[in-house]
Structure 1
């Protein structure tokens, strides 16, 4: 005989649950000595791994009720033993006036993308971009007033046509979105009083400087080295047709490309070699002009970082990535290298035709050998960075350098 019991237990309960059974045979004689039984079950919390990365603070000044500094958290949650179908993220906001998700819709902040039904685990990812972009354009409209206009450019026509419709439906008719390569600006609606870029050009484009009024401000991420993801956000003042950097801040956005980008994991510029099988990996070398047409140097540098490598943990404190990448770029070393060896992890270091060594974001040092000349250089950079006190990007003195083929200026 099989007896099935069903019921609901408080999902927050931990401890023991005891099921007691008793057999009553009525008028039938039961000669078994076992007429009752108890079965205890221990209830423990689900085993969940929590991993997150933090970036910020980034200053935000508009709208007024959101003014302050913003920290961004990207979460990855995975249940290791029990299937979990619902995640709840809670924040303790202790700073006076601090806010979290004041928009009120948790779907703007995280979504469950795998409940673990097939793999035994689940993970959640933060998804706040829609809300951030939604608040952005109304704020710009308020800044320009009823007599002003906002011109928005994107290389992806799908985004611009939908954005135009959404703005119109919300009564924001002084915004126009155009499908265009933003590097060339948009002379049809120039001149502009302010220009803000949410993509990273290889240089500060000369058309941007030419298409703004005297005294205008341009705020844009600019490259500080000829490898991907080495950027600062620059506040540039244009006076008399000449751009001058007034301040720099930590930050960066996706590289500007001539067509819509489909692979968001691979940088859009300066990738000198990549592998797609058995696992994606890529490398960018600042000395690419000295490599041959077969990219032998880049291929070799990537291979020695993937096969039979020497690894060691960085002995210092947790790596402050914005500080470290800015310092590495500021060395001006022509053998500066950026690589993607593992999913979601960037690596910065040094490479030559035969050697390579990098520091990953997770604090792992990877080199071709324990006595690698590139590893010696990398250790020297890291020592200098620590002695300098891990300077923040904002503490550097910026300068624009004119590019010699009249394409623009770069930081």
Structure 2
């Protein structure tokens, strides 16, 4: 059976809905699951390592894809979630899946090697354990932070060739950050932010930039408070230009002042220092103050044909002895 048939066959509500009929917090939208599993290219008989069991719905899909001769090992850091998902799988008579409570970054040496590895949570870098536990020609599909800033994620497909990991494809997507504890209240993008402002115990705003890591927290908070009172300017994007495409371009360029920001309910990207900023929102508004502008980046982006995520590929680099996934422009 193909993936679309299996998605129609497996009852998502059985896994995702809680006893009171509400969706489980630790669940992923079907469309997002479909996109990642299409990249994964699972075949009957494959051995698959899944990072982030969640509701168990994706585990059930993968179990159907690998068939009776294949197997899924699914890891989740939350024992309650693992036990719940195991019960749901048993009720669906799925026997070719093993669920284990542990930090997914460790992988599962006991049942390695794997043909495929897929993750539904974002690691800071590519864990060496995943590389070691992947078969040659095997595929990894996982979200990564393309720069060390909050909400700088994309989903990458990587393949192993002769013990070397090669990037093949990037798609847009973001998941919760991997953490040492199942504290879901703090697993959003703000977990990697450099300043967070709360409103009535909820995250109202956050920001992330390299310069913020070098100054006291009080200074960052003061900067954010001033920014919230800025006048909204005309959007510098032209008619058909796409915010997400320009955002992807900035994640490749990685300017020194690169900044990601969230003001509920919208995200922003741009450049900033402690005294100046130029920021563009997904709602096509702009905040600007001081000498910084986005004009040079916009002109460069336009001059090379408005590349977006489809025009990028993942590359794996060694930085401080760890494997980091970044983005680069495709070369035809």
TM-score by length of 1: 0.63
Alignment pair present for 1:286 and 2:210: yes
| Corresponding residue number in structure 1 for 2:94 | 172
Q: 1:175 to 1:268 in 2, by over 3 A?
A: farther
Residues 144 and 155 in structure 2, CA contact (< 8 A), matched pair in contact too: yes
Alignment pair present for 1:145 and 2:33: no
Alignment pair present for 1:403 and 2:324: no
| Corresponding residue number in structure 2 for 1:394 | 310
1:297 Cα deviation (Å)? Answer: 5.2
Paired residue secondary structure (1:317):
coil
| Corresponding residue number in structure 1 for 2:168 | 246
Alignment pair present for 1:356 and 2:296: no
Over alpha carbons, which structure has the higher Rg?
1
What RMSD over aligned residues (CA atoms) do the two structures have, in Å? 3.2
Greater displacement, 242-251 / 386-395: 386-395
Paired residue secondary structure (2:254):
coil
| Corresponding residue number in structure 2 for 1:373 | 291
Deviation beyond 4 Å, 4+ runs, structure 1: 102-105, 130-135
- For structure 2, the residue ranges without an aligned partner over 5 or more in a row are 22-26, 34-54, 327-332
1:62 Cα deviation (Å)? Answer: 4.7
1:390 Cα deviation (Å)? Answer: 2.5
1:135 Cα deviation (Å)? Answer: 5.4
| Corresponding residue number in structure 2 for 1:382 | 298
Q: 1:264 to 1:323 in 2, by over 3 A?
A: farther
1:196 Cα deviation (Å)? Answer: 0.6
Q: 1:399 to 1:187 in 2, by over 3 A?
A: same
Within-5 A mapping of 1:8-27 = none
| Corresponding residue number in structure 1 for 2:266 | 345
Greater displacement, 316-325 / 149-158: 316-325
Residues 136 and 160 in structure 2, CA contact (< 8 A), matched pair in contact too: yes
| Corresponding residue number in structure 2 for 1:214 | 136
Paired residue secondary structure (1:254):
coil
Which whole-Å CA distance do the structure 1 matches of 2:218 and 2:300 have between them?
31
Residues 146 and 152 in structure 2, CA contact (< 8 A), matched pair in contact too: yes
1:319 Cα deviation (Å)? Answer: 6.1
Question: What CA deviation, in whole Å up to 9, does each residue of 1:28-53 have, x standing for no partner?
Answer: xxxxxxxxxxxxxxxxxxxxxxxxxx
Residues 190 and 196 in structure 2, CA contact (< 8 A), matched pair in contact too: no
- 2:109 pairs with one of 167, 187, 209: 187
| Corresponding residue number in structure 1 for 2:42 | none
Residues 248 and 309 in structure 2, CA contact (< 8 A), matched pair in contact too: yes
Q: 1:357 to 1:235 in 2, by over 3 A?
A: same
Q: 1:403 to 1:104 in 2, by over 3 A?
A: closer
How many residues are aligned here? 290
Q: 1:172 to 1:321 in 2, by over 3 A?
A: farther
Which whole-Å CA distance do the structure 2 matches of 1:178 and 1:348 have between them?
38
Which whole-Å CA distance do the structure 1 matches of 2:30 and 2:245 have between them?
28
Residues 255 and 268 in structure 1, CA contact (< 8 A), matched pair in contact too: no
Alignment pair present for 1:63 and 2:3: yes
Which whole-Å CA distance do the structure 2 matches of 1:340 and 1:275 have between them?
10
Q: 1:219 to 1:266 in 2, by over 3 A?
A: closer
1:410 Cα deviation (Å)? Answer: 2.6
Residues 154 and 172 in structure 2, CA contact (< 8 A), matched pair in contact too: yes
1:146 Cα deviation (Å)? Answer: 1.2
Q: Flag the structure with more relative contact order, 1 or 2, with Cα contacts below 8 A and sequence separation at least 6.
A: 2
- For structure 1, the residue ranges without an aligned partner over 5 or more in a row are 1-60, 68-98, 114-126
Q: 1:398 to 1:134 in 2, by over 3 A?
A: closer
Q: 1:402 to 1:128 in 2, by over 3 A?
A: closer
Paired residue secondary structure (1:339):
strand
Q: 1:130 to 1:399 in 2, by over 3 A?
A: closer
Which whole-Å CA distance do the structure 2 matches of 1:104 and 1:156 have between them?
21
